[in-house]
Chain A
Amino acid sequence: GEDVEQSLFLSVREGDSSVINCTYTDSSSTYLYWYKQEPGAGLQLLTYIFSNMDMKQDQRLTVLLNKKDKHLSLRIADTQTGDSAIYFCAETAGGSYIPTFGRGTSLIVHP
């Protein structure tokens, strides 16, 4: 299996909350990231969490980390059509600063 896994698609209604999930295999993960890729654009760092944290909140974004289960989630409150994009989970492990990326989750927000 892959080192970082995420489901490929998520469809939500505008105004609802979106939860994008990610699992990883490396127990020595140090940082975990969420990136957003809009069509035709590069990856934009949304937020990151250090592995000794359980939760991080930044405006509409909430990141939850369950280190025991190696599970990371990104919750977007009050999802808007502008949130439609691909969301990548990534991790760095050991002494490396090179992140390993998941395949990305396409978030589709419909009215």
Chain B
Amino acid sequence: DTAVSQTPKYLVTQMGNDKSIKCEQNLGHDTMYWYKQDSKKFLKIMFSYNNKELIINETVPNRFSPKSPDKAHLNLHINSLELGDSAVYFCASSRGTYYTFGSGTRLTVV
């Protein structure tokens, strides 16, 4: 059973489109995250939710909007996609110091 699953695994879309990436965890963790991994493999946190409440919102364009319908789900919606949004996006969940990551969504904007 996949602990943190995100869909889709690959996403290719044109500039200007709106897209969503979904994430679900079945670990019962209270905190979920979205990370962006750029082409140089640098991981940077974007958002963190704890029990459906936003607790971290790093400097991310407001075209990115996370949505947490319940504590097992954290979806990422991106409006008006730009070329610079191309990256791998990782969802993660945690309880205390123990993190589990999803396998990533490779977003390519053309």
Contacts and interface: CB of A to CB of B under 8 A. Distances in A.
Contacts, number: 45
Given A43-B90, A97-B31, A104 B41 contact: yes
Interface string B14-52: 000000000000000001010000001111110010000
Contacts of B98: 45
Interface of A: 31, 33, 35, 40-45, 48, 86, 88, 92, 97-99, 101, 103-104
Given A43-B101, A45-B99, A98 B48 contact: yes
Interface of A is mostly: strand
B56 interface: yes
Central interface residue in B40, B90, B97, by most chain A CB within 10 Å: B97
B101 A98 contact: no
A42 B4 contact: yes
B101 A42 contact: yes
B96 interface: yes
A67 B90 CA distance: 30
19 contacts: A40-B103, A40-B104, A41-B104, A42-B101, A42-B102, A43-B90, A43-B92, A43-B99, A45-B98, A45-B99, A86-B41, A97-B31, A98-B45, A98-B56, A99-B99, A101-B44, A103-B41, A103-B42, A104-B41
